[in-house]
Amino acid sequence: MTINVSIVEDDSRIRESLAVLINGSQNFRCISAYPTAEEALEELALKKPDVVLMDVNLPNMSGIECVRQLKALMPKVQILMLTMYEDDDLVFQALMAGASGYLVKRTSPAELLAAIEEVHSGASPMSGKIARTVVEYFHKLHRAAPEQEHLSRREQEVLELLAKGYRYKEIADALSIGFETVRSHLKNIYDKLHVRSRTEAVVKFLRK
C-alpha cells in the first residue's frame, strides 16, 4: 500500500528535500507540497493525502492553526508535526489542535519514514525528548481517573508502556504479544476510558 503524503513547509530547501526523500522511498508518494497554511487549506481536501507533514512556524497562519482547520475539514487525515521547536506549549497546542505526532527536524530520514508509517497505522510517534515532556507535564496532575479501575491487568500494562512513549511495535515486543493484539487492547482501553486518542489515554493514565 502506498502512503500519500503532503508537505506544508515554508523553507523551500527543506520542502524539496522531504519531497525527494518521500518519492525516492518504496511505498511512499509525495502528492503535494505547500509553502503556506493558506495554500494547503485550499487544496488538501481535494488532494486527500493520508499523512500531512506540518511545520509549526509558517508565515501568516501558523501550522497549529492550520492543523485545527484541516482536522475540521478532514477529520481522518493524520498530521505529523515536523519542526525545530521543542517548546512545551507548542507541543501541547499542536496535539490539542489534532496533530497525531510531533518530531524535530533533525530526525533521521529512516526514522521519519518509520514515523509516517506509524502515524498512518494509528500510532502517535514523538521524538524522545518530546515524549518525555508530555509524560512529565501530566505527572504534575493529581486528579484520579476512576475509569482505570475497569482496565484488565494486560490493558494496564499496555497503557503504562504507552505513557512511557513506547511505539506499538515496541509494546508488542516488550509484552511478547502480536501487533494486532496491541491494537485490540488499545481499542478496549480507549472505549473504557472514554477517549479517542493516545494523548487523551496517556492524560487519564497520568492523572493519579
Dihedral pair phi/psi, residue 39, rounded to 5°:
-65, -40
pLDDT category of residue 137 using cuts at 50, 70 and 90: low
- 90, 14: one domain: yes
Tell me: do 121 and 50 sit in the same domain: yes
Query: Is the C-alpha dihedral spanning 150, 153, 154, 160 positive or negative?
Result: positive
| Closest listed residue to residue 122, CA positions, set 62, 184, 61 | 184
Three-class SS of residue 128? helix
Whole-number Cα distances in Å, 106 to 143, 179, 195: 36, 28, 31
Q: Among candidates 23, 22, 72, 83, which has minimal Cα distance to 44?
A: 72
* Domain membership of residue 122 as a residue range: 3-126
How many other C-beta atoms are found inside a 10 Å radius of the C-beta of residue 72? Answer: 9
Does residue 134 sit within a domain?
Answer: no
Last residue of a domain, one of 126, 148, 176: 126
The answer to whether the beta carbons of residues 125 and 199 sit under 8 Å apart is no
Q: Are residues 15 and 107 in the same domain?
A: yes
**Of 126, 158, 178, which one is at a domain's C-terminal end?**
126
Same domain, 177 and 97: no
CATH assignment of the domain containing 22: 3.40.50.2300
Looking at the structure, do residues 151 and 95 belong to the same domain, yes or no? Answer: no
- pLDDT tens sequence across 28-78: 999 999 999 999 999 999 999 999 999 999 999 999 999 999 999 999 999
The last residue of a domain, from among 102, 126, 150: 126
Of all helices (H) and strands (E), which one includes residue 52? Answer: strand 51-54
Do residue 109 and residue 9 come from a single domain? yes
The answer on 155 and 73 residing in a single domain is no
The tens digit of pLDDT for each residue in 119-128 reads 998 888 887 6
The H or E element spanning position 116 is: helix 109-120
- Residue 169, domain CATH: 1.10.10.10
In a domain, 121, yes or no: yes
132 lies in a domain? Answer: no
Please tell me whether residues 110 and 81 are part of one structural domain.
Answer: yes
Instruction: With beta carbons less than 8 A apart as the criterion, state whether 82 and 94 touch.
Output: no
Does residue 40 contact residue 70 with C-beta atoms inside 8 Å?
yes
Cα 187 to Cα 191: distance, rounded to the nearest angstrom: 6
Residue 9 and residue 46 in one domain: yes
Same domain, 60 and 100: yes
Task: Domain count for the chain, please give it.
Answer: 2
Task: Please tell me what DSSP assigns to residue 146.
Answer: G
Strand partners, 25: none
pTM of the predicted model over 0.75:
no
Enter the DSSP assignment of 10: S
Q: What is the pLDDT of residue 163?
A: 77
